[in-house]
Amino acid sequence: MYFWVRVAGGIFLATGLLELVCFFTIVIGTIILIIRIIRLRDWKNVKNYLTIALILFVLTALNMRQLQANENTLQSTVIIRACYEGTMNTSHLYFRKNGTFEDINIGWFAFVHYRKGTWRQCKDTLFLEFAGEKPRLLDNKMIIKGDNLYKKQGDTLVPTYYYLGYCKGRN
């Protein structure tokens, strides 16, 4: 699912619905197969038993944490992580060891805004260069003060409402 986020837009909702339809199709098909094995004698064969065993194995394997991929599986490690939790959206900001950053903003109906670029840090200041459109809450110069990120505009620190660390599920 993570790599679909980079496509942005409504693809996240579409792929999520497709996965849900596939899951329910497999579950219903498995239930029907089990009922037929129980009721009909000629359905009791090795092929049907192996099919049920394979389905159970795959569903179990999908829920094993060691086999799951996330945003860090195939990328550089995250040095600084920040989160914004608005009323209708959540934004994850990752600053990676290789000098890249990404902002994944998931809003209403799973509509995604994905932005990326490069960054460097000098003491408590982060300098960002955006590849494409700059988000409204971020700026080219960000200040880390306490556990929050601020935009620097002239002599003023403007709150961005991003806080450092993992999202806390506030909205």
Query: pTM of the entire structure?
Result: 0.68
Separation between Cα atoms, residue 49 and residue 52, nearest integer Å = 5
Q: What is the pLDDT of residue 17?
A: 86
Residue 57 is which amino acid?
A: F
Per-residue CA distances from 146 to 86, 150, 162, 163 (Å):
20, 10, 11, 9
Q: What is the pLDDT of residue 67?
A: 64
Domain 78-164 in CATH 3.30.2310: no
Q: What is the pLDDT of residue 3?
A: 58
Q: What is the pLDDT of residue 1?
A: 46
Segment 137-146, tens digit of pLDDT: 899 999 999 9
Q: What is the pLDDT of residue 119?
A: 96
Separation between Cα atoms, residue 119 and residue 114, nearest integer Å = 16
Domain ranges in the chain?
Answer: 2-67, 78-164
**Does residue 42 sit in helix, strand or coil?**
helix
Is 149 within 8 Å of 142 (Cβ atoms)?
yes
Segment 58-93, tens digit of pLDDT: 888 877 776 666 667 778 889 999 999 988 889 999
Is 91 within 8 Å of 114 (Cβ atoms)?
no
Residue 167 is which amino acid?
A: C
Residue 98, pLDDT > 70, answer yes
Mean pLDDT of the chain: 86
Segment 34-51, tens digit of pLDDT: 999 999 989 999 999 999
Q: Which helix (H) or strand (E) covers residue 110, if one does?
A: none
Tokens of 98: 């290789």
Residue 4, pLDDT > 70, answer no
Separation between Cα atoms, residue 107 and residue 90, nearest integer Å = 6
